[in-house]
């Protein structure tokens, strides 16, 4: 998605698909700590568990800095700095790399009303990370010979503009040319007026199909939630089951993700972090915890926690739920509008980090895997409010990777100037 002033439009957006996500964190700050920063604490989170410092050649082997106590202290300071500058209520950061130790720590508060601390066991909405589950379900059907990546979407869903030419591969790769329903002005206003209302997949498609196509199928990359709504419908049609059941039984079960859910209501499993957003009718920050995520459905409705996201990041990047040939198709990426970043089938490669991020009002997540070091990074936070036009999850990602993977800094380049809109 392209950056715009109405940031509901970038909810569920891929990090590498919007310029608003890619600026580095500001270096240094003379300002005092915000209220969340003053309460930052790791008392409820495990302390870093560094491994012994390996010989100097070890980092060169994998490009991952050993997580010594000194490095953990650097990470603490970097996370607190981003928290303070971006006024993030709470965040959990996790790093794991074989032979290099681990780091898992929570900062700030999960509930601004009570002051309850952020902890690693809390559930959060995961936004566009949902796309990775939907596309995995689709690719499992490819493995079973029930669907083909180059099948036209019109074979499964009627009424799609260019439906006889847009393939499932182009939908999963964000190259369909279909308008993104969450960019529609009337849809945004309707959501802001009543964020607890429910939307059906057909209502979302009706919004999208009310706009002209943007380009010929396959001609360009353009991040669109509409693509995933269509793929969710394909999964339902082929399996004869609701999407939430397919993902629960065929993806979450085999992956061993017992704390991850595809909800059918706005309720969150306990325990959970409250989420805060300024994507409101008034423009003021509000508690979005119980907002209805049905508008995101197959593109962004799911819920998880840090440890499940850690497991999923590796499963997703290594393809353990798919045949090797199908995983290879998934990882065939094409360039986006960001240097060092490319997009495959519901997955991105940003400076070597494989995965997907997620953003939905109140929450952001960044679970990614670095194959060269077999390393996993998971960042979850309970706000999506931008700082100087930048996504907070990306600011944390860049601050952390600048320390632990200096050759693979996420996302590792200058910001793209936001366009008016």
Q: What is d(CA 161, CA 308) in angstroms, rounded to the nearest whole number? A: 37
User: Residue 158: is its pLDDT beyond 50?
Assistant: yes
157 neighbors 230 (Cβ within 8 angstroms)? yes
Phi, psi dihedrals of residue 101, rounded to the nearest 5°: 95, -170
Q: What is the mean pLDDT of residues 3-11?
A: 36
Q: What is d(CA 283, CA 376) in angstroms, rounded to the nearest whole number? A: 35
Confidence band of 338 (pLDDT split at 50, 70, 90) = confident
What is the pLDDT, as a whole number, of residue 186? Answer: 96
Q: What is d(CA 21, CA 291) in angstroms, rounded to the nearest whole number? A: 23
Q: What is the mean pLDDT of residues 106-125?
A: 98
| Structure-token match 């320390």, residue found | 403
Tell me how far apart the terminal alpha carbons of the chain are, to the nearest angstrom.
Answer: 12
Give the best-scoring range by mean pLDDT among 56-70, 102-116, 335-349.
102-116
What is the pLDDT, as a whole number, of residue 267? Answer: 96
344 neighbors 138 (Cβ within 8 angstroms)? no
Q: What is the mean pLDDT of residues 361-378?
A: 98
How does DSSP assign 154-214, residue by residue? GGTSTT-TTTTT-BHHHHHTT-S----GGG-HHHHHHHHH-TT----HHHHHHHHHTS---
Confidence band of 415 (pLDDT split at 50, 70, 90) = very low
The pTM assigned to this predicted structure is 0.87
* Residue, of 9 and 395, whose pLDDT is higher: 395
What is the pLDDT, as a whole number, of residue 61? Answer: 64
- Report in angstroms the alpha-carbon separations of 106 from 89, 121, 138, 189, 356: 11, 10, 34, 35, 21
293 neighbors 199 (Cβ within 8 angstroms)? no
400 neighbors 67 (Cβ within 8 angstroms)? no
What is the pLDDT, as a whole number, of residue 384? Answer: 97
DSSP letter (8 states) at residue 108: E
Find the Cα–Cα–Cα–Cα dihedral 350, 393, 140, 170, rounded to 10°.
Answer: -60
Backbone torsion region of residue 102, taken as left when φ is above 0, otherwise alpha when ψ lies between -120 and 50, otherwise beta: beta
Residue 259's CB is within 10 A of a number of other CB atoms, namely 16
Taking the alpha carbons of 278, 293, 273, 103 in that order, is the dihedral positive or negative? negative
Q: What is d(CA 54, CA 100) in angstroms, rounded to the nearest whole number? A: 8
What is the pLDDT, as a whole number, of residue 56? Answer: 37
86 neighbors 387 (Cβ within 8 angstroms)? yes
Q: What is the mean pLDDT of residues 133-149?
A: 98
* Residue, of 338 and 97, whose pLDDT is higher: 97
User: Residue 331: is its pLDDT beyond 80?
Assistant: yes
User: Residue 13: is its pLDDT beyond 50?
Assistant: no
103 membership: H or E segment, kind and range = strand 101-111
Chain segment 198-215, per-residue pLDDT in tens: 999 999 999 999 999 999
Q: What is d(CA 298, CA 205) in angstroms, rounded to the nearest whole number? A: 12
Confidence band of 2 (pLDDT split at 50, 70, 90) = very low
User: Residue 334: is its pLDDT beyond 90?
Assistant: yes
Phi, psi dihedrals of residue 226, rounded to the nearest 5°: -55, -40
Q: What is d(CA 11, CA 182) in angstroms, rounded to the nearest whole number? A: 8
DSSP letter (8 states) at residue 46: P
Dig out the tokens for 124 from the structure. 């959060």
Is 340 in a helix, a strand, or coil? coil
Chain segment 32-85, per-residue pLDDT in tens: 222 222 233 333 333 333 333 333 334 446 789 999 999 999 999 999 999 999
What is the pLDDT, as a whole number, of residue 33? Answer: 26
User: Residue 280: is its pLDDT beyond 80?
Assistant: yes
User: Residue 250: is its pLDDT beyond 90?
Assistant: yes
Chain segment 296-309, per-residue pLDDT in tens: 999 999 999 999 99
Confidence band of 337 (pLDDT split at 50, 70, 90) = confident
Strand ranges for 172-324 from DSSP E = 276-277, 286-287, 303-304
Confidence band of 412 (pLDDT split at 50, 70, 90) = low
Q: What is the mean pLDDT of residues 395-417?
A: 83
Confidence band of 339 (pLDDT split at 50, 70, 90) = confident
Confidence band of 23 (pLDDT split at 50, 70, 90) = very low
């Amino acid at each position: 998605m392209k950056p715009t002033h109405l940031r509901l439009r970038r909810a569920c957006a891929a990090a590498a698909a919007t310029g608003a996500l890619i600026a580095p964190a500001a270096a240094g700050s003379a300002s005092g700590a915000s209220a969340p920063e003053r309460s930052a604490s790791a008392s409820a989170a495990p302390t870093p568990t560094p491994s012994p410092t390996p010989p100097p050649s070890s980092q060169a082997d994998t490009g991952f800095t050993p997580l010594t106590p000194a490095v953990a202290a650097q990470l603490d300071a970097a996370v607190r700095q981003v928290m303070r500058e971006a006024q993030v209520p709470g965040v959990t950061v996790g790093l794991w790399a074989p032979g290099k130790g681990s780091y898992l720590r929570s900062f700030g508060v999960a509930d601004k009303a009570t002051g309850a601390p952020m902890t690693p066991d809390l559930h959060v909405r995961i936004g566009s990370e949902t796309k990775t589950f939907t596309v995995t379900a689709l690719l499992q059907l490819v493995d079973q010979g029930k669907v083909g990546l180059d099948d036209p979407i019109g074979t499964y869903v009627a009424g799609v503009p260019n439906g006889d030419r847009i393939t499932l591969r182009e939908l999963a790769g964000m190259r369909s040319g279909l308008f993104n329903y969450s960019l529609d002005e009337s849809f945004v206003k309707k959501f802001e007026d009543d964020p607890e209302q429910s939307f059906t997949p057909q209502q979302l498609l009706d919004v999208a199909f009310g706009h002209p196509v943007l380009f010929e199928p396959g001609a360009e990359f353009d991040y669109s939630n509409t693509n995933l709504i269509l793929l969710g419908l394909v999964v339902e049609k082929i399996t004869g089951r609701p999407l939430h059941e397919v993902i629960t039984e065929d993806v979450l079960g085999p992956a061993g993700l017992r704390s991850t859910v595809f909800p059918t209501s706005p309720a969150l499993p306990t325990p959970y972090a409250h989420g805060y957003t300024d994507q409101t009718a008034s423009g003021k920050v509000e508690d979005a915890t119980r907002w209805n995520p049905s508008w995101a459905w197959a593109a962004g409705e799911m819920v998880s926690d840090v440890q499940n996201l850690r497991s999923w990041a590796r499963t997703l990047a290594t393809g353990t739920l798919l045949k090797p040939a199908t995983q290879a198709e998934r990882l065939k990426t094409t360039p986006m509008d960001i240097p060092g970043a490319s997009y495959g089938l519901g997955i991105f490669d940003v400076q070597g980090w494989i995965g997907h991020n997620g953003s939905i009002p109140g929450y952001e997540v960044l679970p990614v895997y670095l194959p060269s070091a077999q390393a996993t990074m998971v960042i979850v936070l309970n706000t999506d409010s931008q700082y100087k036009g930048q996504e907070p999850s990306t600011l944390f990602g860049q601050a952390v990777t600048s320390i632990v993977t200096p050759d693979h800094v996420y996302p590792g380049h200058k910001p793209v100037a936001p366009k008016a809109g």
